C-alpha cells in the first residue's frame, strides 16, 4: 500500500474531542486511509456506510438516547460516505457534545452535501482534511525521486488516481471509467442539474481552456446557458473536486486584470479523459498548459497536506505581461513561471518586480520541479 501524507496529520488530531472529517473526490482512497487509521476488525471501532440503507436508518432520528444505542461499547465511530446520512451535521454534533470520549470520523466523496450539512452545527467541533489523488511527494516517498521524476510525462497524461497508478497497464481504461462514471455522480445526485449534457459540455470547454483566462460570458454564449448557470455549474464542479479556480492578482498597477480567473483540474488525467486526448507529451499541442496544471495542482497538494496556508493568484496585465502563478506568504509575493522545456527562454516582467518590491519569480521546469512540489524540510 502507498502511504498517504495525511495519515500522520490525522493521527495527530485524534482524541482531541473533535470529529475528523475527510473530504475528497471519489476513488482517491478515503476509505482505505480510514481503514489504516481505524481497523474494522477492532471490536472497539464501529463502521457505518452511508451507501447502505440499514446503516442510514440507524441515524434517522438522532437524539442522545438513540445514538447511545448505536455507539454501544465502541470507542470510535466511523461514518463512511457520510454525505448520504440524513441530518449528518446534527448526528455528529450530538456525538461530539454528548459522547466526548468517543472518536468520530467521517468521509465524504463531495463537499456538496457533507460540507453544507455540517458547517453550521459542526462549528468548532471538527478537524477537516482534504484527500486528493496520489501526489508527486507521496510517490517519491514510496519509490524514490529519480524514479518518479522519470515518469512525469506518463503522470501528465494519466494523472495520479490510485487505480491508474497501481494498474499502469490499464491506465487509459481506468481514467476513462473514472472520468465518465464518477465525475458528475455527486452533482447529479444532490443538485438540480436539469441539463447534464450541458454540464459535460461545460467541463470539456473548460478542459480546453486550462491555463487561459476563462470568460463566463463567452462560455454562456458558446453553450447556450445563461451566465448565472455557468457560474453555478462551475461552483458545483469545484465543490465536487473536479476543478478549482485561480483568481487574478490586482493591487498596485492600473492596467492589471482585476476580475479574471483561470480554471485548473484537480487531476490532469481526468482533464485529458474529458477531451479524450491521451497522446504522449512529445506529440501534444497542449504541453505548456498541461505542465502548468500539473505543477499547480501538485503544489496545492503538498501545501494542503503540510497545513501551509498561502494566498494563490495568477498575474496579468492588459498589455499581456503575465506570471503563471503567484503565492503570497511571509509578507511577500512569490511568482512562478512553468516551462516544460528547460532550455526555453523566459523573460520575467520587470513591471511585476517593480510593482511589488521584495517579490521574486522562479522558473519551474522538470529539472527543478521537485523543489516546487515538495516542501524543503520534506525532501528525501
Fill in the DSSP letter of residue 16.
Answer: S
Residues 6+ apart with CB under 8 A from 187: 112, 193, 199, 236, 237, 240
Report the distance separating Cα 110 and Cα 107, nearest Å: 9
At 44, list the grid cell.
472497539
Confidence grade of residue 379 (pLDDT, cut at 50, 70, 90): very low
State mean pLDDT over 297-315: 96
Question: 129 pairs with which residues across the strands?
Answer: 22
Fill in the DSSP letter of residue 249.
Answer: P
* Chain segment 75-90, per-residue pLDDT in tens: 999 999 998 888 888 9
Residues 6+ apart with CB under 8 A from 145: 370, 380
pLDDT at residue 378 in the model: 45
**Which of 26-30, 120-124, 161-165 has the highest mean predicted lDDT (pLDDT)?**
161-165
pLDDT at 138 over 90: yes
What residues does each domain of the chain span?
Answer: 6-130, 136-378
Report the distance separating Cα 41 and Cα 21, nearest Å: 21
* Chain segment 21-31, per-residue pLDDT in tens: 999 988 899 99
Phi/psi for 157 (5° steps) reads -90, -45
Q: What is the CATH number of domain 6-130?
A: 3.40.50.300
Report the distance separating Cα 361 and Cα 374, nearest Å: 18
Phi/psi for 123 (5° steps) reads -55, 125
How many residues are listed for the chain in this entry? 380
With 0-12 CB in 10 A as exposed, 13-18 as middle and 19+ as buried, what is 195? middle
Confidence grade of residue 285 (pLDDT, cut at 50, 70, 90): very high
Topology (CATH level 3) of domain 136-378? Arc Repressor Mutant, subunit A (1.10.10)
pLDDT at 92 over 80: yes
Place of cell 497524461: 157
Residue 324 contacts residue 338 (beta carbons within 8 Å)? yes
| Mean pLDDT of the residues in the chain | 90
Chain-centre distance for alpha carbon 149: 22
pLDDT at 195 over 90: no
At 273, list the grid cell.
479523459
pLDDT at residue 380 in the model: 39
Residues 6+ apart with CB under 8 A from 109: 24, 25, 26, 30, 81, 83, 185, 186
Amino acid at each position: 500500500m502507498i502511504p498517504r501524507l495525511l495519515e500522520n496529520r490525522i493521527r495527530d488530531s485524534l482524541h482531541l474531542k473533535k470529529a475528523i472529517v475527510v473530504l475528497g473526490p471519489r476513488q482517491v482512497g478515503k476509505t482505505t486511509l480510514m481503514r489504516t487509521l481505524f481497523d474494522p476488525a477492532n471490536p472497539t471501532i464501529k463502521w457505518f456506510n452511508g451507501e447502505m440503507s440499514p446503516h442510514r436508518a440507524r441515524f434517522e432520528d438522532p437524539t442522545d438516547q438513540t445514538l447511545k444505542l448505536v455507539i454501544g461499547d465502541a470507542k470510535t465511530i466511523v461514518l463512511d460516505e457520510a454525505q448520504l446520512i440524513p441530518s449528518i451535521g446534527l448526528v455528529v454534533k450530538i456525538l461530539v457534545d454528548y459522547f466526548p470520549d468517543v472518536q468520530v470520523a467521517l468521509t465524504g466523496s463531495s463537499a456538496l452535501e457533507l460540507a453544507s450539512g455540517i458547517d453550521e452545527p459542526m462549528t468548532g467541533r471538527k478537524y477537516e482534511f482534504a484527500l486528493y489523488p496520489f501526489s508527486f511527494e507521496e510517490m517519491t516517498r514510496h519509490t524514490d525521486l529519480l524514479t518518479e521524476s522519470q515518469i512525469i510525462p506518463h503522470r501528465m497524461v494519466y494523472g495520479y488516481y490510485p487505480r491508474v497508478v497501481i494498474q499502469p497497464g490499464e491506465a487509459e481504461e481506468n481514467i476513462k471509467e473514472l472520468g465518465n462514471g464518477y465525475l458528475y455522480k455527486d452533482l447529479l445526485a444532490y443538485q438540480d442539474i436539469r441539463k447534464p449534457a450541458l454540464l459535460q459540455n461545460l467541463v470539456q470547454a473548460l478542459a480546453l481552456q486550462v491555463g487561459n483566462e476563462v470568460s463566463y460570458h463567452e462560455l454562456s454564449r458558446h453553450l447556450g446557458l445563461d451566465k448565472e448557470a455557468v457560474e453555478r455549474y462551475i461552483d458545483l464542479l469545484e465543490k465536487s473536486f473536479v476543478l478549482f479556480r485561480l483568481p487574478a492578482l490586482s493591487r498596485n498597477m492600473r492596467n492589471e486584470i482585476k476580475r479574471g480567473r483561470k480554471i485548473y483540474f484537480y487531476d490532469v488525467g481526468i482533464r485529458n479523459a474529458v477531451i479524450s486526448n491521451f497522446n504522449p507529451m512529445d506529440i501534444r499541442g497542449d504541453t505548456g498548459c498541461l505542465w502548468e496544471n500539473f505543477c499547480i495542482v501538485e503544489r496545492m497538494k503538498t501545501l494542503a497536506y503540510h497545513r501551509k496556508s498561502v494566498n494563490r493568484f495568477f498575474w496579468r496585465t492588459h498589455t499581456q505581461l503575465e506570471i503563471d502563478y503567484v503565492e503570497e506568504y511571509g509578507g511577500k509575493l512569490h511568482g512562478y513561471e512553468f516551462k516544460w522545456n528547460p532550455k526555453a527562454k523566459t523573460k520575467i516582467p520587470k513591471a511585476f518586480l517593480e510593482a511589488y518590491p521584495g517579490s521574486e519569480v522562479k522558473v519551474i521546469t522538470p529539472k527543478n520541479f521537485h523543489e516546487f512540489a515538495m516542501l524543503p524540510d520534506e525532501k528525501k
